[in-house]
Amino acid sequence: MPRPNILVTCPPMLGLIDEFTGAFEAKGLDFTPAKVTQVLSEDELINLVPRHEGWIIGDDPATLRVVAAGAKGKLKAAVKWGVGIDNVDFDAFRNHNIVIDNTPGVFGGEVADVALAYVLGLARDTYFIDRAIRLQNQWPKPSGISIVGRKVAIVGFGDIGAQTAKRIIACGGEVIAYDPLYKPVEHVAASHAVWPDRLNEADFLIFTCPLSSKTRGIFNKDVINRLKPGVRVVNVARGPVIEEAALVEALEKGIVHSAALDVFEVEPLAPDNSLRQFDRCIFGSHNGSNSADAVRRVSLIAIDKIAQFLEIAA
């Protein structure tokens, strides 16, 4: 009897896919590594997904169309690799009797590390200095700012937000936490505020929240006038929590000093995107969780879950 075949479309997992051959074999599974840089299109997924019993999903559009096609084929179970679930129609899976889950609470430390790196990079212009030396043969010495005594607003106070707060506090910063479900975290001295109150106090504004109908476009033109002039903005959440047109306007006006963005409204970042004109901004490739250690850990969790789900579905 042929072994169930699992489609893998998650780029970080695919980057180390050869390491997981033994884990798949130990669970009695075959796997198909998709050819993908960031995400596959709905049409590509509709062609691929129905051929497989299981699917380990990245940031692909796991929509009703895709799920319905999978249900007409072989698909019996799926796991969303990682924490973010805004790209997955969970109801569609359940309505088609396809078992589905994600891997929550797995990347807090990794993403928080990147958030802190971005904060420090914006504070001291380290990325700007590096580019000036490498690309323009300059030797700049811009005066940055210290973290000690600065107020840092963190939007989203789940695992990633709390881990980010720990790092900011260790650097001497003061944290203002925004989260409608806010709960105090032991040994994390954060004060709670309701968005957008107290934004005028923040020297840094960090987004670590999930994408939802309430957080989509939470940074918009209405927020700009509430910001403290010179604030530095960091987004390690999801691109659409920031309306890029509003951020560009705030950068042009000098209200926002600079921004560090690991995620964007449209990915990859287009060559003509207006954000590229600001030399002090830092750009990432939606790679905040992608440490080899975390990829190994989460991929093994995903493989274990998909094997359990297929056993239940058998």
| Alpha-carbon span 221 to 246, nearest angstrom | 5
Whether 244 sits among the annotated catalytic residues: the reply is: no
Among 238, 244, 257, 265, the active-site one is: 238
* Helix, strand, or coil (residue 44): helix
Q: Which residues contact 36 (CB under 8 A, 6 or more apart)?
A: 9, 11, 14, 58, 60
Q: Which of 291, 282, 241, 246 is nearest to 262 (CA)?
A: 282
| Alpha-carbon span 128 to 61, nearest angstrom | 35
**What CA–CA distances, in Å, run from 22 to 18, 29, 303?**
9, 10, 11
- The DSSP secondary-structure symbol of 68 reads H
- The DSSP secondary-structure symbol of 51 reads G
Among 52, 150, 232, 286, the active-site one is: 286
* Helix, strand, or coil (residue 168): helix
Whether 238 sits among the annotated catalytic residues: the reply is: yes
| Alpha-carbon span 40 to 259, nearest angstrom | 28
Residue type at position 161: G
Among 192, 267, 280, 296, the active-site one is: 267
DSSP string, 269-308: PPTT-GGGG-TT-EE--S-TT--HHHHHHHHHHHHHHHHH
- In this structure, the number of other CB atoms found within 10 A of the CB of residue 225 comes to 10
Longest dimension (CA), the chain: 67
For residue 237, the surrounding DSSP H or E stretch is: none
DSSP string, 249-264: HHHHHTSEEEEEES--
Whether 267 sits among the annotated catalytic residues: the reply is: yes
Give the residue numbers annotated as catalytic, written as ranges.
238, 267, 286
